[in-house]
Amino acid sequence: MTVTEPASPPNRNRMYGPWLVGLGAALWGTESAWRIPLNDLFDAEVIVFWEHVLILIMFLPLLLPSLGELRKVDSKTWGYLLFSGFAGSAVGTIFFTLALKYGNPTVVNVILNIQPVISTLGAFWLFRDRLAPRFFAYAGIAILAGIFLSVERPDLIGVSFKSAGITLGTGYALICALFWGGSTVAGRGVMVGMPLRLASSMRIVVGLICMTLILIGYGKLNGHSLWPASAQAHTGKAIIWLLLLASISGGVPLLIYFRGLSLTRASTAGYFEMMQTLAAVCITWGFFHAGLQLHQIVAALILMAAVTMVQRVQATVEAK
């Protein structure tokens, strides 16, 4: 995630700030535990719709007292907010849900670490941020590692995608990374012109509006689609999984993460954000038995190391 360097926090807060970042990121990483079984009960877009409904209910105490500040928001900030809610909160999450359904969940969660590369490029194009001299070298390594991570048989890449083991889920994961990376850049623009609590809540509002329009477009805004027979057969589990997705993996980590980020330097936070991948891999590999082959493990480690270096060299440029 590309973030602006926060002011130097007091020494007593520096100790637990990064750990709050890590805790929030790790809780985000648990969403596969609920999203994967929910894929068997609902369509992907319906899952994301219910997720937004429940998170918005949770965020109402933050949103309602801040509504008066909306009249102070300029048109540029509204533009960033609309894109962030559409690309990140709605469409990107749909593609992530589809990626978990049609791909190896462990591969999907590791590939998403390429987001900082996308958001850094986006910040360069949109905000004219400087790129570190070694950015493209590390970004290239990350992309190559992502390619080898995505395939089960690297020796058959030239034969066909199917023979090499490249799945539809991999494509969905890359599209998701593109949307989420772009949303991170837009989110930075939102934070400049809107308070954090209002921005977080309004992003959910925009996401819910987008999801409602998407469901209308697909003809799924009806009782049969919103709660199909597969969900009716497991109503109790469906409700619990949706509540856990919206709370433990949705609203709660959002608040913890940004509280920790306000007490942590961006260069330090980047390392602790890796807790999201660690938690996700523990769940997808440990509980859903979505393992990786040896070359994929090596590629995953190289990808994460390269992305870490991208964040490190960019933090150096931002500090200057």
List, for residues 28-75, the tens digit of each pLDDT value: 999 999 999 999 999 999 999 999 999 999 999 989 999 999 999 999
Does residue 108 form part of some domain?
A: yes
Does residue 2 form part of some domain?
A: no
Asked whether the beta carbons of 193 and 77 are under 8 A apart, the reply is yes
Structure confidence at residue 107 as a pLDDT band (50, 70, 90): very high
Mean pLDDT of 88-111: 95
Compute the distance between CA of residue 38 and CA of residue 196 in angstroms, rounded to an integer. Answer: 30
pLDDT winner (highest mean) among 14-23, 123-132, 176-185: 176-185
* Short-list 64, 69, 68, 34, CA closest to 51: 34
Which of 11-20, 83-92, 171-180, 297-306 shows the lowest per-residue confidence on average (mean pLDDT)?
Answer: 11-20
State the chain's mean pLDDT as an integer: 88
Give the pLDDT score at 17. 81
Between 8 and 224, the more confident residue is 224
Compute the distance between CA of residue 7 and CA of residue 264 in angstroms, rounded to an integer. Answer: 8
Q: Tell me the per-residue pLDDT of 139-167, one tens digit each, with 9 for 90 and over.
A: 999 999 998 898 877 655 555 556 656 78
Does residue 153 form part of some domain?
A: yes
Does residue 193 form part of some domain?
A: yes
* Total domains present in the chain: 1
10 Å CB burial of residue 305 (0-12, 13-18, 19+) is middle
Q: What is the phi-psi region of residue 289: left when phi exceeds 0, alpha when psi lies from -120 to 50, beta otherwise?
A: left
State yes or no: pLDDT of 5 exceeds 50.
Answer: no
Does residue 271 form part of some domain?
A: yes
State yes or no: pLDDT of 11 exceeds 60.
Answer: no
Does residue 128 form part of some domain?
A: yes
Mean pLDDT of 171-192: 90
Which of 117-126, 257-266, 310-319 shows the lowest per-residue confidence on average (mean pLDDT)?
Answer: 257-266
State the residue range of the domain holding 223.
11-319
Mean pLDDT of 105-114: 94
Does residue 88 form part of some domain?
A: yes
Residue environment code for 115-125, b if the CB has 16+ CB neighbours within 10 A, otherwise e: bbbbbbbbbbe
Does residue 6 form part of some domain?
A: no
Give the pLDDT score at 3. 40
